Chains A and B, each alone.
Chain A
Amino acid sequence: MKHLYIITAVLLLWWLPQTVQAQQYTGISGLVHIPTAETNHEGDAFIGAHFLNKAMTPDTGFLYLGEKYHTFDYYVALTPFSWLEMSYVCTERMRAKDDQTGQIKWSKDRYASVKIQPLKEGKYWPAVAIGGNDVFTTDLGSSSPDVQLYFSNVYIAATKHFTFAGNELGLTVAYRHFFRSYNSKWNGVVGGITFRPSFFPQWRIMAEYTGNEFILGTDVLLWQHLRLQGSVKDFKHFYGGVCLQFNLLGKKYTY
C-alpha cells in the first residue's frame, strides 16, 4: 500500500505537467493545508470537491467507533472583489452503519471561510491577508463546544513572488491559530514554497509545512475551467481535489 502512495505521488508530480493551479480544500486560494495571502481573480467562482485523507482530518468529530476514516468535502467559493474571498464548505461525516445492509449513513459539517487581503503584493513588499475558517456556529449553546467548529481557525499570511527567466517562485509565511485543542498541532508559524514554470504556468508545484507535517503537492488549470490538485503528506497519505472554475465577469485567465 505504501508503494501505491509513492507511485501515485510520483505520477502526480511527473505526469501532471500536462495538467495543474491550486485550490485548498476550502475553496479559498492557498496551498494544500495552509493559507496564502494571494487571492483569486475578481469574479472567480468555484464549485469543487476534495478527498480528505484521515491523516489530515481533525482528531475529534471525524471518528466512527473510535476510528478515523477517509472522507471528502465539497464547496462553492467566490471572489466578489480582488481583496475578498468567501466559500461555503460541507464536509461529510460518518454517522452510523446499518448492521443488516452495511450501508453507511452520512451527515455533514458545514462551515464558511473568508479571506481579506488588505495589502496587495508590490515590487518590494509581500501581499498580506487575514482570514478564518469555520469561525461562526449556528449551534448556539445547544451542545458541547467540542462537537462544533471542527475546523475553526484564524490566520494572518504574507506571500511574495519572485520571477526569474519567466519562472515564478512564491514564498508564504503565515501564523495560524486553531480554536480547538485537538487541532493545536497545526498552530503557530507555517509556510510554503510554490514554483510555476515558464513553459507551462498553469502548473504549480508546492511544498509546505503545516506546523506538524510536510506536504508536497501540485495542481493545474485545464481548459481555463477545470482545476485538479493532488498532494501527499509525509510521502504517505494522498489528498486530491477537483473543481470547476468560472469568471463571472467573463474574463479569461491562463491561471
Chain B
Amino acid sequence: MFHRSLLRRAIAASLLALSLWAGPPEANAQSTKPGLDFFSGLDFNFKDMDFETQYKFLIRLTPGFKWNFGDHWQVVGQMQIPVLNQYGTEYSFVELRALNISKEFNIKSLYLRASVGAFTQNRYGVDLKAFLPLCDWFAFEGQAGYVGSVFLFPYWEIVAPNRFVGTIGGDIYLPRWNTQFRGVVGKYLYDDIGAEAEAMRHFNHTTISVYARWSNKFNFDGGFKVIIMLPPYRRTHRAVNIRPASNFRLAYTVMYRQWNNKMYYTDPEQNERDGWFSRDLLHWGSHNMEPDFIIKEKTKK
C-alpha cells in the first residue's frame, strides 16, 4: 500500500513538474487574438536615379495600432512622420497612412476580407479581397476597391470616391522549396491598366522576390523585394501590447516608375510573405511554414 501511494504521488509530482517545465500554452503568432497592439516601424525609401546626388533618402516613422476584437474583426490606424526627407517638400508632412475597420471570414474555401476606411496611398473607401485555394499549390486571388483620396496635411483635402480599382490573378506555391509565383492583371490607382509577375522564395523570417510589371501608362519596370520579419520572435501576448512593426519591407525598382501598378494597402503591416489573411484562418502557402512569431499567453498568477 505504501509503495502504491508513493508511486501515485511520484507520478502526480512528475506530471506537475512536467506541466510547469512545459510552461504556459503557446500559440502561433501572426494570428488575430483579441487585444490592442501599439507598434512602430520605419518607412525606409531611397532612390538612386538622381544624377547630382547618388542616393536620396526618405525615412519616416510609422507608429500605429491594431485592435483585434475577436472573430477576425480588426481596427487599424497608422501615421507617417518624416524623420529624414531628401525627396522634396511634398514628403515633409505628417500623414495618415491608414485608419480602417476590416473583417476576415470564409465561405467554405473562399476567403474574404472586407475593409472600410482610410488606406495607404492617401486613399479611402471600401475594399474587398478574395482568395480561393483550389489545391495545395494553386489559388486564385482578387481585389476590388472603390476609392477616393484624402489628405490631412498641409491642408485638409478630400475627394469623394470616384474610382474603381482591382486586380485578379493566381498564385502557385511549391511547398518543397517554399517558393511562390504570383501573377495578376488589373486596373490600378492612377487609372493605368497593367500586369505584374513575381517569384518569391520564403526563407526563415525572410522572403526575397524578383518581380516585373507593366502598365499601359508607365511602361515596364521591375526589381527585387526583401521582407524581413522583425524580432523578437518569441513574444508574450497581453491585452495591450507594445511591439516593433512585424516586418521591414524593401522594394527596389530599377526604373523608379513610382506611379505604375500602384495599389493601396488596407493593413499597414501587409506584406508579400503573409499575404492578405491571418495565418490562423487561411492555411495555404507560406502560412504552412513554421510561424515567424511564437506568442506566449500571459497567464494570471
Contact = CB atoms under 8 A, between A and B. Distances in A.
Contact of B206 (A90, A106, A110, A248): A248
Nearest to A88: B224
Interface string A90-103: 10000000000000
B45 to A, nearest CB: 17
Given A81-B177, A138-B255, A249 B203 contact: yes
A86 interface: yes
B51 A86 contact: no
B204 A250 contact: yes
A248 B203 CA distance: 6
Contacts, number: 29
Contacts of A170: none
A80 B54 contact: no
Name the residue in B52, B201, B224, B252 with the highest tally of chain A Cβ atoms < 10 Å from its Cβ: B201
A45 B54 CA distance: 24
A81 B177 CA distance: 8
B210 interface: yes
A32 B252 CA distance: 28
B221 to A, nearest CB: 9
A80 B174 CA distance: 13
B29 interface: no
Interface residues of B, number: 16
Place the interface of chain A in its size category. 10 to 19
Contacts of B204: 248-250
B201 A80 contact: yes
Contacts of B177: 81
A80 B203 CA distance: 9
Contacts of A78: 208
Contacts of B224: 88
Nearest to B50: A107
A169 to B, nearest CB: 32
B71 interface: no
Contacts of B201: 80-81
Contacts of A108: 48, 54
B51 A107 contact: yes
A190 B203 CA distance: 35
Most interface-central of B48, B177, B203, B255 (chain A CB within 10 A): B203
Contacts of A211: none
A201 interface: no
B281 to A, nearest CB: 27
B54 A86 contact: no
A43 interface: yes
A249 B208 CA distance: 12
Interface in B49-76: 51-52, 54
Given A86-B210, A107-B51, A108-B54, 19 more contacts: A43-B203, A78-B208, A80-B201, A80-B208, A81-B201, A88-B224, A88-B252, A90-B48, A106-B54, A107-B54, A110-B48, A110-B254, A138-B255, A248-B203, A248-B206, A248-B208, A249-B203, A249-B204, A250-B204
13 contacts: A43-B203, A80-B179, A80-B208, A81-B177, A81-B201, A86-B210, A90-B48, A108-B48, A110-B254, A248-B203, A248-B204, A248-B206, A250-B204
Interface of B: 48, 51-52, 54, 177, 179, 201, 203-204, 206, 208, 210, 224, 252, 254-255
The 9 nearest A-B residue pairs measured at CB? A248-B203, A80-B201, A250-B204, A248-B206, A249-B203, A138-B254, A43-B203, A138-B255, A78-B208
Interface of A: 43, 45, 78, 80-81, 86, 88, 90, 105-108, 110, 138, 248-250
